Structure 1
């Protein structure tokens, strides 16, 4: 099921950078703010933003973060600052804020729901910090979600990492992001790291949570687009297809616009 990206990295790079510059110009802002997690998506996004020549603010926002994530994030930021004079960085330690939030909110006996809710809270605190920084510096918040996450399985937090102004890589599959990352000279430590959302304070990977790798999910995404159904597969392929179909179905509320109850004209 492993998919080799066929994108023209040079052309895709140029296209996204021009798109970002044009959007920033039309929005009358001076650049972008990007949350840096130590993962490949945020590394690629921040590099693309840096290539615009516009102000690019890289933000670390640890909340009980695993040391490996912190080290990769700092390595990437240091490399980016050496390559691009328009890149700056800041660190917002949200651990005390997160702990204060936990103290002030009721708990739950359902441990699974509690842990998931707290994980999503981390993402939403980070979104708040990014928009605060964007506001005081006149910047746009650049999203780091890829196509499989954002429009395939909905593997993001609504109003957390899903709360952004622009999504530069949301039309790229994970395999495309990896290809682009190599072209952009993203640090090797990030290229080989297992994808993780870093929302649980440990080293669990995205695959651990989803039950399938991004390569497998890309395959399933393509099969569903071809009109295939679960009856067309057996074994691991059936398992992966069912995982993708289930996540794609239950997370439509993240991918679709907020439903609005439209009032009939006769009632107005």
Structure 2
């Protein structure tokens, strides 16, 4: 099967699914109109968002630029001690290539003051070594462990790890909103539908924002849109990563590839059952059940705070 480095081209059975196929040009225009109408309706001067060097934020960056122009967009690059240098390099290069105004702020110091780097997970992140070492030290990073991540645990080690990675996303959102409010701008979330439906996001962190331009798109659709918009090749071909440890990718943590997850989620949305989905995609029923379990166990992340209101 032909592939791009780090992201395989979708196999025929996925590409031909009507639920995932779409006209990239038409979709881009629809989202651009959505962004433009939102800014006009909210009476804000523009959009602020983060840029990580990954494909989601890169797509949002170009959609916002096309919708509003460079003078109504501001981007923040917010690395910290454990961030990938390649991500920062790619983000800066993209801003310079497309003329996007940006600010680079290292958030290591505030995280350090909160004791983030004194935890055991931080020591592993500093050491690096990739997924093999991460899973050995923290078993809940494995495929089976991802479900435990969603369910929660009484393990102190588990709680330390959750706190370690979630604070980074939430700190970035604090900085982004602070910048947006100073500029009279709204905040754009770069979350996509796949991550939202399986809980691969941090509540009140990377999922937060006033507008979410690509939240209706599955990850594979985001890649298709990235190619249409002209996102730099080095970003498209990079393995999607939460940037927690060196060499740890999204798909390694979830334990299943995005093309499979998206296909299953799309057929679930059409109302198909587990066995029918497995047969349609020629995959094991266990893979479908795993994605279904991720969706069920992550429901709490998509639920607003409990209250007695209404």
Distance 1:230 1:252, change over 3 A: farther
Query: Any gaps of 5 or more consecutive residues in structure 2?
Result: 1-9, 122-154
Of the three residues 186, 191, 203, the one matched with 2:231 is: 186
Whether 2:79 is the aligned partner of 1:62: answer yes
Counterpart position of 1:145: 191
Q: Which is further off, 13-22 or 254-263? A: 254-263
Aligned partners of 1:147, 1:139: CA distance in 2, in Å? 24
Q: How far does residue 240 in structure 1 lie from its aligned partner after superposition?
A: 2.1
Counterpart position of 1:84: none
Q: How far does residue 59 in structure 1 lie from its aligned partner after superposition?
A: 0.7
Aligned partners of 2:117, 2:199: CA distance in 1, in Å? 29
Of the three residues 264, 289, 293, the one matched with 1:220 is: 264
Aligned partners of 1:80, 1:165: CA distance in 2, in Å? 24
Whether 2:187 is the aligned partner of 1:174: answer no
Whether 2:60 is the aligned partner of 1:13: answer no
Structure 1: 4+ residue segments shifted above 6 A: 103-109
Counterpart position of 1:30: 45
Query: Any gaps of 5 or more consecutive residues in structure 1?
Result: 82-86, 264-268
Q: Which is further off, 101-110 or 175-184? A: 101-110
Counterpart position of 1:257: 304
Q: How far does residue 238 in structure 1 lie from its aligned partner after superposition?
A: 2.4
Q: TM-score, normalised by structure 1?
A: 0.88
Q: How far does residue 257 in structure 1 lie from its aligned partner after superposition?
A: 3.2
Counterpart position of 2:152: none
- Superposition RMSD in Å: 2.4
Q: Render the CA deviation track for 1:1-40: whole Å, top value 9, x for unaligned.
A: 7433521111111111111011101111111111011100
Q: Render the CA deviation track for 1:48-79: whole Å, top value 9, x for unaligned.
A: 01112251111100012111212221222222
Q: How far does residue 102 in structure 1 lie from its aligned partner after superposition?
A: 1.0
Counterpart position of 1:266: none
Aligned partners of 2:247, 2:291: CA distance in 1, in Å? 23
Counterpart position of 2:248: 204
